[in-house]
Amino acid sequence: MRKLKNKFLIVFSVLLLLACYPGFVFGASAQQTEVYLGGMPAGFTLGLGGAQVVGICEVLTEDGTACPAKDAGLNLGEIIISFNGIKIGSAEDIDSVLSTFNGRKVELVVRQGSEKQKKEIIPAKDAVSGKYKLGVLIRDSVSGIGTVTYIEKGSLRFGSLGHPVAGEDGKLMDVNQGKIFRASIVNVVRGERGKAGELKGLFLNDKSIAVADKNCESGIYGNFNTDIDTKEFQSIPVSFDAQAGKASIYTTIDGIKPVEYSVSIIKVDKSHKQNKNFVLKITDKRLLEESGGIVQGMSGSPIVQNGKLIGAVTHVFLNDPTRGYGIGIENMLGN
């Protein structure tokens, strides 16, 4: 079985106005009145809870070519979660099971969205390696750069993005024990009218600093490790009383340190239940010169007004990257 290995860093999808988000971010309890301010970049690796089929290919056997996956009716996007009753959590698990395969028909359990289905497959023996293969290209996780919004005091519960992470089918991904790493922004692709820009970054090391356990309409949530040094974070009160007018966002477009940039909140819509509570415009000349406005990877950048955290950046307008949407902090807390 061949594995699909990503050789480059994936930046999570930006949904622009009409389906485009800009990047990633972190949550606390609804009673929390003060949190640690985010704005720093983070590398996200989100497990899929199995091995996802992202390609179907043929296997060269001694009797010619065969395609077990096609014969079994496997489809792109399906996640293999069980192989002959053995739980599958990664590509390595499939390798391990196939190494003991004796040539018989086996049963796979696959998941597509919330639906599960059983399928029978007969792995084919590769003529060159002598190993049995399913004839699929798979992945067991997705990776990207996002922005931390806040970290809850005490519990160290975090909230990020302000919007969900979706798969190729547009549906909410069922993330499984995702890991968060320190990251550094190394380049910025400027946003232009009709074309989204993006932050490009690198994971700084292979030691995770937090675990993600929830992907919902208002972002990615989880918990920081208890050994994190909270002295490096700024404490800030939260407020549900956002008003049209001057505000700031904290985001990182170079290195690891967040910088404050001026914005203007043009409209407040508290009735929106998900992630479009504000319309905001970037007014800071430094940020406009560097990025052109809001770009992929800025999602979750905290919005501060009158010294209080009121929300996070979520969307960018495709026809005007200087403008975008934001989510109210009340819709992120408690996740």
pTM: 0.78
Q: How far apart are CA 151 and CA 38, in angstroms?
A: 7
Catalytic residues: 163, 284, 299
pLDDT of residue 311: 96
Report residues of the chain scoring pLDDT below 50: 1-30
What does residue 193 show for φ and ψ, rounded to 5 degrees?
Answer: -60, 120
Quickly list DSSP for 224-287.
E-TT--GGGSPEEEB-S---SEEEEEEE-SSBT--EEEEEEEEEE-TT-SSS-SEEEEE--HHH
What letter represents residue 261's amino acid?
Y
Contact 110, 74 (CB under 8 A): yes
Q: How far is CA 48 from CA 27, 114, 120, 138, 277, in A?
A: 21, 13, 22, 11, 30
Contact 286, 260 (CB under 8 A): no
